[in-house]
Structure 1
Amino acid sequence: MADEEAPEQGELAITRTGDRLRLAREAVGLSLADVATRTRITQRHLEAIEKSEFSGLPGRTYVTGFARAYARAVDLPEAEIGAAIRRELEEDAYGSRPLYEAYEPTDPARLPTARLAWTLVIVALLLGSAYGIWRFLSVEPDEALIAAQNQAADNSEAPATAPGTAPAPKAAAPGQAVPADAPVVLTGLSEVWIGFDDATGKTENWRTLDAGETYEVPAAYVQQFTLRTSIPQALKVTVGGRDIGAVGPADTLVKNISLKPADLVARADGAGAAQTIPPVATKR
């Protein structure tokens, strides 16, 4: 008779959700340390759940979360385990405890999912790429790039003409022929960015001129490159000492400006002719 009642007493002994979790853990051959590794919940909290000693655990919301994570680790239905834990908490009048208390680990259910993490990474990469493209297409390049280009140019070209180091060449009169090798000098009226483009339109060199700084364009640049700038009104261009006037409308990106002396003089003469009003013949 006693033998027949033993299983029944054993079944009655397993009345708490913690016992069910422990038996499921032992059935799959896991230790508490294994479950702690899988769930990232401290081993002492898992042990308290198995013993249904909820008073030693954080707030009720976290107790339910821990139990659900434990259930997932041992292949038990987490929703059912969560509901059972909530019932036991109500039976133990555990609801009077504060809803928030500090604890060591984070409930795994509250960690960002892998999909969300990858989405954030992709969005960050797209924003970074968009910023890079915008910088590449900007009129003025990055200051560090300008400095590197200027350094390379200074190492391979004749140094820029410093103000006052040599007498200014005698300016050619309008309409007067200018030698093909006449010096082409760029002067910054205020800080201005300039670039030199090759035949394909690719900018090979950049530099910034400060106010009053002059730069004599190397002969090789005169023949092979064209000028571009984003602030035409801040740049003075002279050829053989003659000021050719503005190279474009104010605050406008201009490019493909030929640096050959003859072309610059023709540009200056054309601008002057466009502003000349022919005399009106008088009657006698």
Structure 2
Amino acid sequence: MTDEDVAPEQGELAITRTGDRLRLAREAAGLSLADVATRTRITQRHLAAIEKSDFSELPGRTYVTGFARAYARAVDLPEAEIGAAVRREIEEDAYGARPLYEAYEPTDPARLPTARLTWTLVIIALLLASAYGVWRFLSVEPGEALIAAQNRAADASEAPEGAAPEPSARGAASGAGAIASDAPVVLTAQSEVWIGFDDAAGKTENWRTLDAGETYQVPAAYAEQFTLRTSIPQALKVTVGGRDVGAIGPADTLVKGVSLKPADLLARAEGNVAQNPAAAASKASPKG
């Protein structure tokens, strides 16, 4: 194979873009860019960009195709073929400029968080959850929705005056004669029962739930400063110095404002005896 046989093939391979075909046709016709600019009325800068297939230098796709077809007419090339080739090259260039899609592999260790980072995030989440739990315990009363509902029910269906015996001065004097005024006040749960202690403004400052059989001795300071609140009065036995005060309110009714002072509780006990002497006598009589 001679050099003459190889040279044309190499020359054909060198022409890979439409701009190269236009440039070679211009040079073969002995024309300069200025001559083509005069024939087509296209600036030399745009003609040079077409020859380099640098279509980004041109105003837009429509102008690129139109300029290329005009250039082809000026150098006696088939303008329809040149126009189609330019459009194809524009599409290829646009596709090549797109970012390559890189498939994400979940099992790629380089993309997964390290074990240290994972454990750090877990510890932070646990600390936040613990802090929230402590905040709830210290600042929010459990059963708050239930208490609010009970309070609303109490406003609508609280026992009328006189349903729960009011302490009387005579009863207090009678009870105080047998039991000391500083006798311990003890609350005993007959079944699970919720109790709360309200301050002078009616706000529940402390609360607790007593299980069946559990007792709670009211501190003397509580007896002086707070009143008793409960939602199941029949489940709570109140004693002063060992004496049963009796019912502190109608069954299954939220009662509040029950004084915890021994004298007031003794007066309530006397009132209960006066209202229901038969029940009091039954409690007092020994069981056979």
* Fold conserved between structures, TM > 0.5: no
- In terms of fraction of residues, the more helix-rich structure is 2
Q: TM-score range by the shorter chain?
A: 0.3 to 0.5
| Greater Rg over alpha carbons, structure | 2
TM-score by length of 2: 0.40
TM-score by length of 1: 0.41
